[in-house]
Amino acid sequence: MPATDEQIRHLIDHQRERYVPLEPAKQSIEMDGSHSNGVPRLSSGRPVRCVMCWEVDSLPEPQYLIDEFAGEDHIHINFGDPKSAKTLSRIHKAFCIGRGVPYFGRNVIQGGAAIISAEAQSSTLQRLQAYRRHQGIERDHLPVWVYPDRIDFYSSNVDARAIADDIKRAEDQLKVECRYTCIDSLMSSLPGGSDSNSKDVNLFVGNVQELQASLTHPIHIDVIHHAGRSNEERTRGSNHIDAMADATWRATLDENGDGWLINTINRHGASGTKLAFTVASVDLGTNSRGQTINSAICLERIASESDFAATKQEKLIGKGRAAHEALCAVCLDRDTISVDFDVFEDALLRREIVDPTKPENNQRARFSELRKALKNHGKADFDAKERRIWLIKKQHDFPDAGDPF
C-alpha cells in the first residue's frame, strides 16, 4: 500500500527533529587537514589558486630565462637516441645560464644552474670539468653545480623536497637564485616505475612540480628522456610525458659529431626551430695509471635551416643508394625482379643499412622509409598487402644524371 501524503510529511518532520547541525565546518577541517586558518589547501600543503576570468587580461606577461626559448617556469623535455648529446647540450645550457652569456644567440638571465645527475654520475662530473677547461672558466664560485645521486621522483615527494631544500642552501651560500635545473634522466628518476604507465608518469610530473613549488622563485626545468621506439620524432612512453612539457626538443648527432636540437613541440609559439651544435673532445690529462682521460663537450656551430634540410637529404640519399644496391643484389642472386619484404629487409640488416641493434619498431619504420624513397625516385615499386617489392631500374642503370639516387 503506497504511503499517504500525511505519512510522508510526518516522516520528514521526524527526520528534522533528529537532525542536529554540526558546529561550523571546524570538525571536518581538523579531520582532513585540507584547510589551515580557513584557507583551502591541496594535499601537498600549497594553497588552492584561483584566477577569475576577468583577471586574465591583467596577468603579467610571461618572463623568459632565455629569450624566445625558455620561460622562467617552463618544463622542457629533451629527448633523442642514445649518444645523441642530450646531456652534453644541457650542460652547455647550464653553463650559459650560470655565466650569463647568450645561448645560441639568445639573451640569458644569469642565475644558478643545478644538474640532477641520476645516471652516469662520474661521466657528468668529467664533462663539467672538460667544459670548464675548454672555455677557460676559472671562477671558483660559478653557480653551476651537480647532484650526482640517484633520486626517486616516483614513490614519494621526499627527494623533490630535499633537492629544493639544498638548492635554497646553495642559493644562500652563493648569493644567487637558482634559475635552472636539469633532471638526467626521467627513467633514472622513476625507480620501479614505467614511462609507459600514465599513473607512474603523473607521479613523476607531480614531483617535478613539487620541486618548482618548493622554491620561492620561478625555476626552468629540463627533463632528459629517450626517443620513441617506433617514432623517433616524439618521446618514448606515455603521452603524458609530452603533455607535461611546455616544449620538447629532439637531439640528433651524426657520425661526424655534428648535431641539431630540433623544437618538436612549443605550446607558447611556433615550433620547428633548429639549433646546430658540434661535439668536441677535451683532454683531461692522465690518471694514476698513466692512461689518457678524455671527455666530450657541446659547442654551438653556425648552420642554417637549409643546411639542416641538405644534411637530412644527403643522409637519405646515402641510405637510399645503399638500399637500391642491396635490392639489386638479392634480385640478381635469385634471378628475379621481385622479392618478399622479408628478403629485402634481411639484406638491409645484414648490410647494416638499417641498424640491427635498434628495436623492432624502429627498424620497421626505417624499412618503410627506404621502400618509399626507392619508389619516389623510380628505382622500385612495392605492394604493401602482398609484402613484395619490384626492381624497376637495374644496377647498371644507376645512378642516372640528375637523379638523387
Q: CA 349 to CA 300: how far, in whole Å?
A: 34
Residue 262 DSSP SS3: strand
Q: How many CA atoms lie within 13 A of 176 on its CB side?
A: 20
Quickly tell me which residue has 668529467 as its cell.
126
Q: Nearest CA to 143 among 101, 173, 123?
A: 173
Closest alpha carbon to 380 in 327, 313, 316? 327
Say whether pTM exceeds 0.75.
no
399 preceded by cis ω (within 30°)? yes
pLDDT digits (tens), the chain, 405 positions: 544 555 545 544 554 444 444 444 443 333 344 555 567 877 766 788 888 888 888 878 889 999 988 999 999 999 998 899 999 999 999 999 999 999 999 999 999 999 999 998 999 999 999 999 998 887 677 999 999 999 999 999 999 999 999 999 999 999 999 999 999 999 999 999 999 999 999 999 999 999 999 999 999 999 999 988 656 678 999 999 999 999 999 999 988 899 999 999 999 989 999 999 999 999 999 888 888 999 999 999 988 777 776 666 666 677 888 898 999 999 888 888 889 999 999 999 999 999 888 888 778 888 988 898 888 878 889 988 889 999 885 444 444 434 444
Nearest CA among 78, 54, 288 for reference residue 181: 78
Q: Report d(CA 297, CA 254) in Å as an integer.
A: 15
What is the reported pLDDT for 196? 93
Query: Which domains, from first to last, does the chain contain?
Result: 23-59 (no CATH), 64-303 (3.40.50.300), 309-397 (1.10.10)
- The CA-to-CA distance between both ends of the chain, in Å, stands at 90
Provide the 8-state DSSP code for 202: H
User: Which are the contacts of 304, defined by CB distance < 8 A and separation ≥ 6?
Assistant: none
pLDDT at 131: 95
Is-contact 367 342, C-beta < 8 A? no
